Structure 1
């Protein structure tokens, strides 16, 4: 079978397409024929070597595929079932614990492979009616947005959500927020992407290059009150404006560091004077993923996939991501039969 492995010390030039043996599931494992994956920012950091990992690591955390073989003790799945990955395959329920937070495609081998043998407990079903490429966008980006807005944010109809940019988490957050009756303000630096955001339901859009202090623009669009929730994916370069944009007693979900990990100015007084609530979000447990799937069963939401690459072209897919040419998710096609 074909598999992408990352040679140390990382870098797109060290992504190697290799031939290797198909794994055999142990008693409590299932064998998944991997149909699709999708790219996340975490995957990019691993591929670039910015998150060090073992030599020969099989990358990618997202997967949707078919169960083609089961171990003798497997009871949850049958051959022919369609499943999707959990980014933390050992975090089934409850609060995070360090020993449960082994990230697949980073701390252990992931899904840039045609077949994967994994514990029957490490996957969930996909939403009813979803294709495998659609389902493969959910385990990281979709679940992150779900936890930010639902588990931690406790989003209510009529509240206002700010999303930053047009990556996978932000687009999912926009779609989820609108489906739950919230108003959405979205930022982007591209006039074309701003139009696409409005077409997806964004109530207001702000060009953050034209308005570097875009937090003030958010206040102007909310009668000076600010937003109830901020989906903060930018990191150090955007955090100050996120604090400015949040309303008194608002919620900021800290998710990404696209603009860097360090905050350039001291803003702690603004945080506690506004009595803001911060949530650090790194995906969620499997029970949260199951709740998301059940919600999507009843929803008309479908992921936005702007580009699809074959597994062998994964370096080009990552470069496409680096160049910020995508809108929503980049899909990786692994088995198309």
Structure 2
């Protein structure tokens, strides 16, 4: 990959939570590569964990990104909409000036999962904003034109969130449906992902959705998005409150928090033969009675983002006007605003999603 002029990027260094304004050489695309000028970059809880250097594994300690071979400085940002600046010689589907949403969950391209279209399952993932420089920058290079999705007619700030929060919610909902429309489905966490999941469930005709969150403001938004019942989580609340609000044991639970407390409550709230989808990366661990897994026939499944085909499906749903928009707060793309946005997410209390605009 040849290089040309300089660009600014807002990056983290190892063992340093500061967001640094650094200068990099602007990549020049070759082959099927595409260079885009960043227009929008969504801010995700995953970015807060990456800035911290890894993930909490409970009694197993801490999973360090540095020890896993992630290269620093790291330019975060994986919810990106950009305008095509330059294309490689073999690119045929886009040209300069086209606005595209980027699918960032890029695999090695050669393993079975990648060949079958499941880049997000690749054990050697090259995800943008993690293993490759992401969207908190002036420009971003995408390794193949196939990872670009046309969002014509959509608000670019909202569209940016579809690459992660939208896709993650869509993929998780796929793992619990189909169900009878009135069977209880419980959503833990009514932030950007949870609100999107509620909107998708409603768009797909589901009528019994219970949202659980620690903030009443988030629960109010959940009701606006279509939740039929809500539970304010806290000291003294638990699975019995959730089942009572939902009208009975849950046929499925999607946990967008996924810490020890929520995972325990999710398991206890489930009906026999229920499904528990674990999405969040807040960390910790949970102890479950193994006999009850068998006796109650509980299915537990982890879910990490989704496939390119699922993002394309989600964008089609959005273009058809069948996906309600979630609240989006716009801020300027800069080192200071990246830092402030990550601090705000870490502290909690953000309604919907933050999107940085260039």
TM-score, normalising length from structure 2? 0.84
Q: Which residue of 1 aligns with 2:270?
A: 246
Cα distance change on mapping 1:290 and 1:208 into 2, 3 Å:
same
Cα distance change on mapping 1:250 and 1:232 into 2, 3 Å:
farther
- Mapping for residues 143-182 of structure 1, pairs under 5 Å: 143-150=167-174, 152-156=175-179, 157-182=181-206
Say yes or no: does 1:65 pair with 2:82.
yes
Say yes or no: does 1:119 pair with 2:136.
no
How far the C-alpha of 1:34 sits from its partner, in A, is 0.8
Mean CA deviation greater in 59-68 or 1-10: 1-10
How far the C-alpha of 1:121 sits from its partner, in A, is 3.5
Q: Which residue of 2 aligns with 1:139?
A: 163
* C-alpha contact (below 8 Å) 1:137/1:303 kept by paired residues: no
- Mapping for residues 204-219 of structure 1, pairs under 5 Å: 204-209=229-234, 211-213=236-238, 215-219=239-243
How far the C-alpha of 1:40 sits from its partner, in A, is 1.5
Cα distance change on mapping 1:92 and 1:314 into 2, 3 Å:
farther
* C-alpha contact (below 8 Å) 1:92/1:287 kept by paired residues: no
Say yes or no: does 1:80 pair with 2:97.
yes
How far the C-alpha of 1:99 sits from its partner, in A, is 4.7
How far the C-alpha of 1:58 sits from its partner, in A, is 1.4
Q: Tell me how far apart the structure 1 counterparts of residues 347 and 93 of structure 2 sit (CA, whole Å).
A: 41
Q: Tell me how far apart the structure 2 counterparts of residues 307 and 187 of structure 1 sit (CA, whole Å).
A: 26
How far the C-alpha of 1:109 sits from its partner, in A, is 1.6
Q: Which residue of 2 aligns with 1:4?
A: 10
Cα distance change on mapping 1:330 and 1:86 into 2, 3 Å:
same
* C-alpha contact (below 8 Å) 1:89/1:122 kept by paired residues: no
- SS in structure 1 opposite 2:130? coil
TM-score, normalising length from structure 1? 0.89
- SS in structure 2 opposite 1:113? coil
Mean CA deviation greater in 225-234 or 15-24: 225-234
Q: Tell me how far apart the structure 2 counterparts of residues 58 and 49 of structure 1 sit (CA, whole Å).
A: 13
Q: Tell me how far apart the structure 1 counterparts of residues 116 and 195 of structure 2 sit (CA, whole Å).
A: 26
* C-alpha contact (below 8 Å) 2:183/2:250 kept by paired residues: no
Say yes or no: does 1:289 pair with 2:293.
no
Over the residues paired in the alignment, what is the CA RMSD in angstroms? 2.1
Q: Which residue of 2 aligns with 1:34?
A: 38
Structure 2 stretches of 5 or more lacking a match? Answer: 1-6, 55-64, 108-113
* C-alpha contact (below 8 Å) 1:38/1:332 kept by paired residues: yes
Mean CA deviation greater in 216-225 or 287-296: 216-225
Render the CA deviation track for 1:131-187: whole Å, top value 9, x for unaligned: 22111111111111111112x223344443211222221111111111112121111
Q: How many residues align?
A: 328
- SS in structure 1 opposite 2:34? strand
Structure 1 stretches of 5 or more lacking a match? Answer: none
* C-alpha contact (below 8 Å) 1:87/1:283 kept by paired residues: no
Mean CA deviation greater in 125-134 or 41-50: 125-134
